[in-house]
Structure 1
Amino acid sequence: MKEEINSTLLITGGAGFIGSNLCEYFLKKGYKVTCFDNFATGHRHNLKDFMDHPNFNLIEGDIRNAVDCVTAVKGVDYVFHQAALGSVPRSINDPVTTNDVNVSGFLNMLVASREAKVKRFIYAASSSTYGDSEGLPKVEDIIGKPLSPYAITKYVNELYAEIFSNTYGLQTIGLRYFNVFGRKQDPKGAYAAVIPKFVMQLMQHESPKINGDGNYSRDFTYIDNVIQMNELAMTTVNPAAINTVYNTAYGDRNTLNNLVHYLKEYLSKYDSKIATIEIEYGPNRAGDIPHSLASIDKAKELLGYNPRYSLQQGLQEAVDWYWENLK
């Protein structure tokens, strides 16, 4: 059974990278979509293509403000909670603000959603929750100790969600994102994600700098796989699939050296000089784990997840988007 298209969806952090992609996707499917954002890390230009859409509503507010949260969830059927302060380094530099947004803000949204009797609360969890657990692939019920303030906040989110499910009956599903990339991901700023940052540097004929020797590996996950998981989390009617967490990934890993190789290859079709750019290497970054790889068996079994985009397939689409939008 698919959810009725006349449902109203709230997407917190809807002006951000993942949030704005979710807004756009669900509007195209015919849903009513409300974006709730304070524009601390999100961008108005991410919303420009659908600001005038009749089914789109923008609420400017802050999840740290409980009144704003109550306003945002009014009349909402499903909440997609994407709002957070990401980045391990940022959390190390400023753990207090990271905690205020990611823990206190998350709790505000849970309370408001419970009071508004939303049907389901789907939230962005994180692969950072696996911490110092060395086993690969990462399986949802085996985690280690967190390695950063950011990781702590994302684990606390899962604990709070479980309590609200068990104590108040609020349906929750957490999606542990693994290194998501794709269109609309911001290449600027001190805490820019590695893929858009490297793309912008290569386009400017600058040498990307890899932390470490480039042999750290990640389960890079294209945005359209993430959209699929969010939609499945909303539409599932399988009782066993609710009130739990899922790895949201492709289920394969690539080294940073592989990543840069692919980026240079795909960008050089636009500019042949990019193929000759040298890569710089620096020290490993505090709080980083060496390797990350997700088991997606649970999502396949309980949600019917079937990711369509490998790293290479996603990068080719992402590079085309960046070349068109960053030139």
Structure 2
Amino acid sequence: MASISVRDVANRAGVSVGTVSNVLNKPEKVNSETIRRVHEAIDSLGFVRNDAARQLRAGRSRAIGLIVLDASNPFFTDVARGAENAAQDLGIAVLTGNSDQDPEREQRYLDLFEEQRVRGILLSPVGELTARLERMRSRGVPVVLVDRRADLEGFSSVSVDDIQGGRLAVEHLLQLGRRRVAFVGGPVGLQQVADRLEGARQAIAEVPGAEIEVLPIPQLTVEHGRLVGESLRARSSDELPDAVFAANDLVAVGLLQAFMLTGSVRVPEQVALVGYDDIAFANAAVVPITSIRQPSELMGRTAVELVERELEDPEGAVREHVVFPPVLVVRASSGGAIGSDPGALSA
């Protein structure tokens, strides 16, 4: 069946093609009776406008591409929600892709979004993308890095100070008297993980007798956290760390599951536990998890705003790096009151 065209609508309504275009795009220029006739023709014919073609003619899409590291992590769900809310306010949409921490998959999404001629890209990067991102920018596609500060000249970013976040987490554990801290996270090639570990090491270095053990994992998931928790549970009490800092809350949930499965490792009595991101699951856990909060929805909204500002001033020499402060939220897993959210302490 042939598709219905604008000319078909014009013929049915007894008007010109230009009048149909005005009804669709500039209705203020058309009288109400003509608008009524055109819409009746659209409804009777089942006409659907070719928005992609219209965007190509206009030279700018009404969609922004968002590529997240892990769509199963509620942190990125909240980032996407913030981006979508900002886009809706602007009358545009967000197309979301999940790299799943796979550089090749990340490249495929970049290819797809470039083919779709999106107006900009929000990216939590996995691989080395310097040349690719610079080429996209030279073609007029703004790229804003999300959850990572841009090291590249000419790119804006929205992030949290993850080094300070790591410091906050481990300083809290040290203030509780814990001295044998394990860090569980990975891959360490991810800048966010590396920065959180760096902050943890800085805090450890300032306290005599404190030590840190790094337990790397291939992905920041509940499953990998649980596997590390099971290996820790098998240790003797002398070999068990007295605190664990997990690189995100999903890993912390997995650790908590492993510790509580047999009850052989008590949280926080034997092991104090701190996560990162402050997702809803952290407060809803059987033992509510102390965490480092990131303003996830605000980060997504801010990233969209940065894309739009760059589109308004593509030749602007200065790009923006918005860095939000991390916030420590103390709960029962490190010794706070059970079931409470007793306080949030910013950096």
The two structures have a TM-score, normalised by structure 2, of: 0.38
Q: Which has the larger radius of gyration?
A: 2
TM-score, normalization: structure 1?
Answer: 0.39
